[in-house]
Structure 1
Amino acid sequence: MMRHATEQLCLVAGTLAWAVLAMLVPPLVWLVFPLFFGFLYVLPLWAATFGVTVLTCVSVAMASWHAGGPSAPLVLGPVLLAVLAVLLWTRPFRASRSRSRGRGRPARRTGA
């Protein structure tokens, strides 16, 4: 229980540090990508997906603010990275879950 609370506290501290640094230095907006995996590791999937979505919106807004307005790369970059992170994280989870389901089923008879 204590470990989980420590991980969440570190995630909040890292996210706040990223937000402050991304406001001050434009290239640091792109450091949001490792945070995506932090959210996916620490939080349940539904909360992590919500958090990744919020982080994506904030990073698009910050990048657009630094650039003086939105552009296709500033919007598509974080969105595609967020989708990639969630897909990379959930694919092994779904594969292992389908394998464990397969083990619980009785074997098929192949002969008469």
Structure 2
Amino acid sequence: MIINEALPDKDECTGSLRNVLDALSVLNGKWKIALILSLVQSSKRFNEIQHELKGISPKVLAKELKDLELNDFVKRCVYPTTPVSIIYEATDYSRTLKSLIGELSAWGEQHREKVKQSMRKQS
């Protein structure tokens, strides 16, 4: 806790809340940020993504990829081969999330034990 730091006023809180809700509206869900991180590392086929993200069902993966594509975070590239090849890749827009993903990663590492305990309680 930081002592002597002024609390934000009502307008700042309202603006921050609106901004957070806007971000969460396009990044909500268990898999979206993980998908973006996976594709920022390298472009992948559907099965490669599913293999990398253990636990995601094909139905959920297809929906999440479609949502990310609609919001310009992911690009779906179709190659006219036999059979057709579809490759998913991160867009430059998704790379704007680099610092956010870094902060989430750092927070997750710092609070890993507490998160694990909480998850055990929910099971």
Q: Same fold (TM over 0.5)?
A: no
Which of the two has greater strand per residue? 2
TM-score by length of 2: 0.26
Which of the two has greater helix per residue? 1
TM-score by length of 1: 0.28
Bigger Rg, structure 1 or 2: 1
